[in-house]
Structure 1
């Protein structure tokens, strides 16, 4: 662990130590989420006048996303008090988190930020309360792009009949099915090997994961589609929060929001750097035209409508009203 070390007693009062972890293993300290967690720890330490100390884990909770959530819910020795969790994991607790995984639900970083920081994002986080968790704020991974070997993706149906890896979750599976792809659901750790062997020839990811996975060794092109936005929630064990004073809970809430703004700026700047780095490694970057993006949006509309029917109409209505303001 990377620990921010402080005295265990301040002005005669015991110091409360909290641990925060990322959902991915082996993240380097210079990654935006790691730097965001360090910023969170710094704000908490400063604004609580060192009543609270946050230790930032350099690794994650082992197991599947469901295992991670169960560990966070259970608490106790070895469990983090807070975690960064993505919407494909959280949708298993609250189905409406899956809205953020659907194609083209947002079209810009500004729109995504307004949506998540507004009533829509807040009602999603509030639904975690019934599951022993408290959602504090929204961070992000950014937009997903499509990588390919062989023929690049430049037109809406260029993935037809080609084996494409997707996150093994319904929203991602159904999205690429309507694009005609031969869908293969695989977890991220298995992706490089499947690309190298030729079992699959395309996948979608945000720039940082394409780079971290060294996919430039086994993929020749990146097509900029921004077809899916990856949101991260900072989530706490509710029982841990209840042991804190209202004042200190407010400190955590404010720190999560402020560190989230910091992290978003980092991830957006890094996306530009990562894109250039992928080109340096030999990948060709294609900007898919607005006409083809419009076709993708139209092709995937039945997926959005199909999934919207499964959700709480109140939350869908809040989403639609907010998105209409863009």
Structure 2
């Protein structure tokens, strides 16, 4: 029987689909993170799980483990690296423990808008970072986000650099954060997040810095009066897969996970930014909110630049050069 072009195409498609289906095995993926369900990163994981289930014909199940069920970021990072946990999404800061150039993303006052970050991380620099992970037992599927960090305190609105002087501010245990905030004249104190609310409530700490959504969900507005919009650091969230697990996958399975992570990432970043706008609006009814003037932010960038240069001097010069070139392009 003679077949027309349409029939041939359908036959080829059916054969390809059957072959691909044979390349997809029954699998369960433990995907952990430290955020509560309902957080935009949690919703990104759920979107990823939906896409993977649909595209694998239900063969691959992604199980979300939210709210530090599998441990803190460092614990989950090590578990994924060791193959005990299949996937994790966490901060670029933690990833910097094995590829220190990831902490280039922690340099303060680098970005003004999310679109600049997207251009940087979806371009040659982002790919160069991810390409350094396999040697460390990890595969990077892209970058999601926790978003821009803002400054809150119980003393005064931050309208000048001088307003920061002497404030005791909780920072994440990250040397670049500690030294940058010291350069701004504050007294930075590394502290675990679960301890923060109590420290603010007792006035052991004057200030903290986190994205709008975290300030809202953690109810820091109950113990902080002033919120100053600085966008001083953008927190990128790499999506990581255990290389031990990845090496067991077929090419079809790898492509399926990569495509799902990319699509879920676009969804998650938009959700994060929409959530940020809504959270700010809600916080404006609970705190005194001010935008720090652009010239003041420029001065803050100048003050913290030597700290960034100090850390960058210990990184791979080629990657630092690429970072700076691509960042300049993104800003334009």
Kindly state the Cα deviation for residue 255 of structure 1 after the two structures are TM-superposed.
0.7
Deviation of 1:60 (Å): 2.8
Q: Which residue of the partner structure matches residue 55 of structure 2?
A: 47
Partner of 1:22: 33
Q: Deviations over 1:82-135 (max 9, x none)?
A: 000101111111111111111022221111011111111111111111111101
The aligned residue for residue 218 of structure 2 is: 213
- Which of these residues, 47, 69, 79, is aligned with residue 71 of structure 1? 79
CA distance in structure 2 between the partners assigned to 1:12 and 1:324 by the alignment: 43
Structure 2 residue aligned with 1:133? 138
Match of 2:299 in 1: 295
Q: Determine the structure 2 residue equivalent to 1:189.
A: 194
Aligned partners of 2:151 and 2:209 also within 8 Å? yes
1:34 paired residue number = 42
Deviation at 1:14, TM superposition (A): 5.0
Gaps of 5+ in 2: 1-20
Distance 1:156 1:21, change over 3 A: same
Deviation per residue, 1:227-262 (Å, 9 max, x gap): 100100100011111111101101101111110000
Task: From the CA coordinates, give the structure whose radius of gyration is larger.
Answer: 2
Q: Which moved more, 1:150-159 or 1:198-207?
A: 150-159
Query: CA offset at residue 11 of structure 1?
Result: 8.5
**Deviation of residue 53 (structure 1)?**
2.0
Tell me, yes or no, if the aligned pair for 1:23 and 1:83 is still in contact at 8 Å.
Answer: no
Matched residues, number? 310
Distance (whole Å) between structure 1 residues aligned to residue 34 and residue 124 of structure 2: 25
Which residue, 285, 310, 314 being the options, matches 1:310?
314
1:96 alignment partner, SS class: helix
* TM-score normalised by L of structure 2: 0.89
Q: CA RMSD in A?
A: 1.7
Structure 1 residue runs without a partner (length 5+): 1-9
Q: CA deviation at 1:156?
A: 1.6
1:47 is displaced (CA, Å) by 2.1
